[in-house]
Amino acid sequence: MPRRLLIVLVNTDARNHEELGAPFYHAATAAAMDYEVDVVCTATAGKLMRRGVAETLFAKPGSGKSVHDWIRDAHELGARFWACPANLELFGMGEADLIPECAGLMGAATLIALTMDDDVRVLSY
């Protein structure tokens, strides 16, 4: 049975705050269940890996829990977060701009290889 979950945020738009809770909640849940969890933020969702962005976003207005709090919760349970290298150029960012929870960069070849791996299950948002 596969023990690794790859969560890909590619269609999730940071401007639609209500879309932002589920992927991180699922990452936290899977990590708490002792699955190896990798979350890749690419396309517009790549902005969430930039310092200062996720702290200002709330999946539910007035909840008091920012999207960065959701990311932090999942990270503390063992989920690893990755930024897309192409996003750095697209959004004028460098690695120093990434949030502390971001483990680094995951390029397209690695993402595709993981997606095709029989020992990995993929959720895409």
pLDDT confidence tier of residue 14, bands split at 50, 70 and 90: confident
Would you state the CATH architecture of domain 4-124?
3-Layer(aba) Sandwich (3.40)
Does residue 124 carry a pLDDT above 90?
yes
Domains in the chain: boundaries:
4-124
Average pLDDT, the chain: 96
Instruction: List the one residue out of 91, 103, 111 whose CA is nearest residue 9.
Output: 111
**Is the pTM higher than 0.75?**
yes
According to DSSP, residue 93 is labeled: -
| CA nearest neighbour of 105 among 54, 55, 49, 28 | 49
Q: What percent of the chain has pLDDT over 70?
A: 100
Q: 47 with 62: CB under 8 angstroms? A: no
pLDDT of 50-86, one tens digit each? 999 999 999 998 999 999 999 999 999 999 999 999 9
